[in-house]
Structure formats: C-alpha cells, structure tokens
Amino acid sequence: MSLSCSDCFTDLLCGEESSSIIFSGGGDDLPEYSSDIESPPTDVEEVIAGLLEDERDLAGINLRLSHQSIDASSRAESVAWILKVQRFYGFQPLTAFLSVNYLDRFLYSHHLPKLNGWPLQLLSVACLSLAAKMEEPLVPSLLDLQVEDPKFIFEPKNIQRMELLVLRVLDWRLRSISPLCFLGFFALKIDPTGTYTGFLSSRAKEFILSTIQETSLLEYRPSCIAASAILSAANDLPSFSLITAQHAESWSDGLHKDNIMSCYQLIQQNNMQKKQPKVLPQLRVMTRPSFTSSDSSSSSSSSPSSYKRRKLNNSLWADDDK
C-alpha cells in the first residue's frame, strides 16, 4: 500500500506545541526515553545511570501491571495485530513497543466496558497511531492504519476521540523507558570493539518484540529485559556463547542475575514455542500423494476464487462501515 502526502499528516485534534505533548510539565530537561542509543555520547554512563534511576521509580507500576486482571489471550491478540501492522508498514521496533506500553498503561489506569471485542480493538488502533506519530517520519492515515484483517473498522473521528482519552489517562506522558534504550550500551559491554554490536542489538530487538505478547514480561524492568535479550542474541554467536547471566549482572547497577536468568528463560521458551508450527507445512506436503489428480485440480481451481470472494466481501463490509 502506497502512501500519499496527505496520508502522512497527523490526525490529533489538539493544537498544543510538541513540547507540551511530550512532557506533561512542558520542560526540556527530561531524557528522551524512547530513543535508542545508536551512537553513545561521551557521558553514556551518566545517561544509563539516569535511566536506571527513573526505572526504579517506575518499578512499582510495572509490578502492579503484571498482577492486573488482564485477559492474557485478548491482550496477546491485540499485541499480535500491532506487530503485524508494524511489519506491514516497516515501522521501527520502538513504535511497536510504545504501542504496547500505552495499551498496558491504559488498561492499568482505566476500565474498558469489556476486554475483548471492539473496545480493545479501538484502543489498539489509537495506541498504535499515537506511537507512530511519536516515532515515524511518515504516518499512514487512520483508515490506512487498519490493515492486516482487523475485526472492526473504525471511522477516523472515533479513533481520534480514543486517542484523546488515552492521552488524558496517560497524563500526556508518551515518552517511556524501553529496553531498546539499553541495547547499544549492553552490546558494547559484550563486544567493546563494536564488530558485532549491530547484530547483537538487531537480534535482541527481535527477541523483545517476539516476547512482548507475554503478560509475564511486565514483571521485569526494561534494563533486565534488555540484558536478557542481548544475552539471548550473544548465544547465537560462537564467540560469545559462554556469556552468562552472571556476566550480564556486572553491566550496570540494578541488574540481578536471578532476574536476568528468569527473563532469559522466558524469552528462550517463547522463541522455541514459535518455532514449532514450522513443522506443520511439511506434514501437509507428505500427504499430497494420497490425493488423485482430479481432486488436486479441483482444489487448486476453487481455492483462489473462494479466497478472492472472501477478500471482496471483507472489502465491501469495510467500505459500508466507513
């Protein structure tokens, strides 16, 4: 799907300046939490120390989030849709993480009529839209953002109302400390030469995005998630396969090997579970010789047409609702 210039403008109803949107107090002295450290400055140790200090202040909120009575399956479905759209448009990993962060913080602070169906879908669209406006140079229109077979299609005005509700509930605090803030710093701890830091950071981002569907990940601080993801990435390289949670504990203050190991196991377990379905296509291929040639041709000729009808019906239904 191509984007026109008109599709790239934001749809927020408010007219405040960006400084008052990013920070509730309008100050300029708060750290850019949602920015990854790709080129560490000279005082990178101070930056990380500041992030860790603020992270400790938010630890209580994260712990309460993990014990909220959130429908894990409904949340996982919403996160899965956010990740599909992120891949569809090539959004940054940070955009997807912030979307889920807004979703979790909203559910912690505000009660939805029900945690499945259209309210949660509308919330997911609004959170993704806000995150994209924070991080992406080009943002699709609110209608174009609703891709990858959403269950419901919402009018832009309804999404805008939900965006304002999310902003009020979050007190306009859209900057958030994410694990991505620590990846570059931890990668350099493993490889001071910088030869493999790009791979380590990129692979770690993949591990984080593949695990954010798990509600239990909310139990861990962003720095712990980052250390566990970098540790998982390091194990993919023979040169760093002996790096352990005990080594990671020394990367910065506030890291504990038991927490790192627990989070690491969660990431590994989740990664293994997502690899298992790849066996299914092989089973289907092995059973093909049992079909006759007439059955095969009948199946191959009817399947595409039924698929086209299904897609056409979906398009008509979406257009009617618009």
Q: What is the pLDDT of residue 116?
A: 67
pLDDT 10s digits, 193-210: 999 999 999 999 999 999
pLDDT winner (highest mean) among 8-12, 101-105, 250-254, 286-290: 101-105
Angle, to 10 degrees, between the axis of helix 44-66 and the axis of helix 180-190?
A: 130
Q: What is the pLDDT of residue 49?
A: 81
Give the CA angle between residues 47, 229, 97 to the nearest 5°. Answer: 70
Backbone angles phi and psi of 118, in degrees to 5: -70, -30
> Does the pLDDT value for residue 267 go beyond 90?
yes
Confidence band, pLDDT 50/70/90 cuts, at residue 27: very low
Are 93 and 208 a contacting pair, CB within 8 Å?
yes
Residue with the two structure tokens 């007219």: 15
Average pLDDT over residues 51-56: 79
Average pLDDT over residues 229-235: 94
> Does the pLDDT value for residue 282 go beyond 50?
no
> Does the pLDDT value for residue 306 go beyond 90?
no
Both structure tokens of 44: 């990178």
pLDDT 10s digits, 60-84: 455 455 545 567 888 999 999 999 9
Q: What is the pLDDT of residue 252?
A: 85
> Pick from 154, 131, 118: which is nearest to 82 by CA?
131
In the chain, % helix, strand, coil (3-state, to 5) comes to: 65, 0, 35
Confidence band, pLDDT 50/70/90 cuts, at residue 192: very high
**Proportion of the chain above pLDDT 90, given as a percent:** 47
Are 75 and 102 a contacting pair, CB within 8 Å?
no
Are 264 and 231 a contacting pair, CB within 8 Å?
yes
Residues 6+ apart with CB under 8 A from 307: none
CA distance 55 to 107: 20
pTM higher than 0.85 for the full model? no
DSSP state letters, 122-150: HHHHHHHHHHHHHH-SS---TTTT--S--
Q: What is the mean pLDDT of the chain?
A: 76
Q: What is the pLDDT of residue 208?
A: 96
- Of residues 170 and 58, the one with the higher pLDDT is 170
Are 24 and 171 a contacting pair, CB within 8 Å?
yes
Q: What is the pLDDT of residue 35?
A: 44
> Does the pLDDT value for residue 92 go beyond 80?
yes
CA distance 34 to 51: 11
- Of residues 309 and 153, the one with the higher pLDDT is 153
CA distance 115 to 121: 9
Both structure tokens of 22: 């990013």
Average pLDDT over residues 291-297: 43
> Does the pLDDT value for residue 186 go beyond 80?
yes
CA distance 167 to 175: 12
Q: What is the pLDDT of residue 64?
A: 55
Q: What is the pLDDT of residue 37?
A: 43
- Of residues 109 and 93, the one with the higher pLDDT is 93
Q: What is the pLDDT of residue 266?
A: 95
Confidence band, pLDDT 50/70/90 cuts, at residue 55: confident
Are 175 and 27 a contacting pair, CB within 8 Å?
no
